[in-house]
């Protein structure tokens, strides 16, 4: 049986999320899902991003979320300066309210230690191991085969995808006169803020004494590595394979495109590190740096 919602319920969700919009049409109209504009399905909502959308026409579309400035001639139109945000937020809302994903709260084979504290509506996939002094905030989703150990605090509304490992000791050792290495035991934590996204197979080491910190709103693509004592500010982006070595720091809104950052380096807020670059010295705020080693090629936003 098809699932259905009214336009009115979609508008209420946008208001709840404080996404700006205006609406033209019948808010009692019934919607039966979502689809792309190119492969539109009858009676669904879709997205018109820019002028290229005109090639598909709008007369047969039930509801279009349109970028502000587009002329969209269809029965129901949600117009927003943040149309992309509105469209994908509505897709998530639809999936959550119509049970499109497996919503079992804890999957089979998952082990939760006695020190684990879960917020409301936390979902955990299969074959995860979560043990230690662990706190996970409301509405956070953890996928399959995730390991979270020792002392980890995870905020609300986070997504941690399959294969992530969070909280193991970092790679540090002492060496005696015979060059024998003895690994240093860690006693710090990992602190992950609200609305953080970790792609598949990310690794985040715990701090030696203090915390490894992932700030609110950070987005880490697949297979990123975060060493002990690293500090990420808010809304940092790391593209797949980025590696941040011990005690490096990235300011708010920094962006590293599959690069490496040497231990103890500081990257300023708003700075962009180009694809495959290796950062060996501190970088100031709001610059673009590329190369091996990374050199500044542009200053200012």
* Measured distance CA(126)–CA(139) in Å, rounded: 17
What average pLDDT is seen over the chain? 94
Q: For 90-102, how does the pLDDT look when each residue is reduced to its tens digit (9 = 90+)?
A: 998 888 777 555 5
Q: For 66-115, how does the pLDDT look when each residue is reduced to its tens digit (9 = 90+)?
A: 999 999 999 999 999 999 999 999 998 888 777 555 555 899 999 999 99
- DSSP per position, 129-178: EEEEEEEE-TT-EE-SS-EEEEEEEE-SS-EE-TT-EES---S-EEE-TT
* Measured distance CA(278)–CA(258) in Å, rounded: 9
* Measured distance CA(3)–CA(102) in Å, rounded: 16
Q: What is the CATH number of domain 5-97?
A: 3.40.1390.10
Q: Which of 151, 179, 186, 228 is catalytic?
A: 228
State the pLDDT confidence band at 300, using cuts at 50, 70 and 90: confident
Q: Are 141 and 159 in contact (CB under 8 A)?
A: yes
Per-residue pLDDT at 193 exceeds 60 = yes
For the chain, the structural domain boundaries read: 5-97, 111-247
284 class by beta-carbon count within 10 Å (0-12 exposed, 13-18 middle, 19+ buried): middle
Backbone angles phi, psi at 104, to 5 degrees: -55, 135
Strands (E), 87-138: 111-112, 116-118, 123-124, 129-136
Helix (H) or strand (E) holding 212: strand 211-214
Helix (H) or strand (E) holding 89: helix 83-97
∠ CA(99), CA(100), CA(104), 5° rounding? 55
* Measured distance CA(116)–CA(135) in Å, rounded: 6
* Measured distance CA(222)–CA(1) in Å, rounded: 36
pTM confidence score: 0.78
Q: For 234-285, how does the pLDDT look when each residue is reduced to its tens digit (9 = 90+)?
A: 999 999 999 999 999 999 999 999 999 999 999 999 999 999 999 999 999 9
Q: Report cis status (omega within 30 of 0) of the bond before 275.
A: no
| Strand-pair partners of 25 | none
Q: Report the pLDDT value the prediction gives residue 1, as an integer from 0 to 100.
A: 38
Which residues does 178 contact at the CB level (< 8 Å), separation at least 6? none
Q: Are 174 and 152 in contact (CB under 8 A)?
A: no
Radius of gyration (C-alpha) of the chain in whole angstroms: 23
* Measured distance CA(146)–CA(162) in Å, rounded: 6
Concerning whether 179 is annotated as a catalytic residue, the answer is no
CATH class of 111-247: mainly beta
| Residue 297: other Cβ atoms inside 10 A | 12
218 class by beta-carbon count within 10 Å (0-12 exposed, 13-18 middle, 19+ buried): buried
| Residue 144: other Cβ atoms inside 10 A | 16
């Amino acid at each position: 049986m098809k699932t259905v919602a009214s336009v009115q319920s979609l508008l209420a969700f946008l208001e709840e999320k404080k996404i700006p919009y205006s609406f033209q049409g019948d808010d009692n109209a019934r919607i039966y899902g979502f689809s792309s504009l190119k492969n539109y399905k009858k009676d669904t909502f879709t997205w018109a991003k820019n002028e290229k959308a005109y090639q598909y026409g709008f007369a047969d579309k039930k509801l279009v979320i349109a970028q502000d400035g587009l002329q969209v001639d269809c029965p129901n139109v949600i117009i927003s300066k943040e149309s992309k945000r509105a469209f994908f937020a509505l897709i998530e809302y639809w999936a959550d309210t119509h049970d499109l994903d497996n919503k079992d709260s804890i999957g089979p084979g998952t082990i939760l230690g006695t020190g684990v504290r879960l917020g409301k509506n936390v979902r955990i996939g299969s074959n995860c191991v979560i043990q230690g002094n662990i706190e996970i905030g409301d509405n956070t989703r953890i996928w399959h085969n995730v390991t979270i150990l020792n002392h980890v605090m995870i905020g609300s509304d986070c997504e941690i995808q399959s294969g992530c490992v969070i909280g193991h000791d970092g790679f540090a050792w002492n060496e005696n006169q015979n060059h024998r290495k003895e690994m240093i035991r860690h006693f710090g934590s990992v602190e992950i803020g609200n609305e953080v996204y970790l792609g598949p197979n990310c690794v985040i080491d715990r701090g030696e004494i203090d915390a490894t910190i992932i700030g609110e709103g950070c987005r880490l693509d697949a297979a990123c590595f975060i060493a002990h004592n690293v500090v990420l500010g808010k809304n940092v982006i790391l593209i797949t394979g980025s590696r941040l070595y011990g005690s490096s720091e990235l300011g708010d809104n920094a962006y590293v495109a599959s690069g490496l950052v040497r231990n103890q380096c500081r990257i300023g807020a708003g700075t962009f590190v180009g694809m495959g670059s290796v950062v060996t010295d501190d970088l100031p705020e709001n610059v673009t740096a590329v190369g091996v080693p990374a050199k500044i090629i542009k200053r200012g936003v």
